[in-house]
Amino acid sequence: MDWWRERQKSDGPLRDRVANLERQVSSINQEITALDQKVSTLMAAQDDVDAAVAAVQTVTSDLTTAVANIQAEIAALQAAGVTVNTAALDTAVSALQAVDTAVQGLETPPPAP
């Protein structure tokens, strides 16, 4: 039995080291879990940004098309000699162009490499 007690005494520092390593591994695992949660949050936020970008691009396209169509209608009316006062429509088109310019200004350029 003496050999067993001697073995336990000599294994004590080894057990302490193993226990310390187990605590460190547990701590690292907790940090990895926390990082994984943060990455998931960031990915969800990126999905929201991507959806907003798609919506803005759709509106930009729609506005660009609307401006072109309105300008074509005005030109057609003027070419046909219609004497209808289009000043309000011209103003509306200008406002629409301003909105289109503002929306295009929201586009964020890709980050520099």
pLDDT 10s digits, 96-105: 788 777 777 7
Hey, what's the torsion of the CAs at 38, 40, 44, 45, to 10 degrees? 20
Per DSSP, the residues of 24-60 read: HHHHHHHHHHHHHHHHHHHHHHHHHHHHHHHHHHHHH
pLDDT 10s digits, 44-65: 888 888 888 888 888 888 888 8
Q: Note the pLDDT of residue 25.
A: 92
Q: Note the pLDDT of residue 98.
A: 80
What is the DSSP-derived secondary structure letter of residue 97?
Answer: H
Helix, strand, coil abundance in the chain, percent, nearest 5: 85, 0, 15
pLDDT 10s digits, 63-111: 888 888 888 888 888 888 877 787 887 888 788 788 777 777 776 666 7
Inform me whether the pLDDT recorded for 31 exceeds 90.
Answer: yes
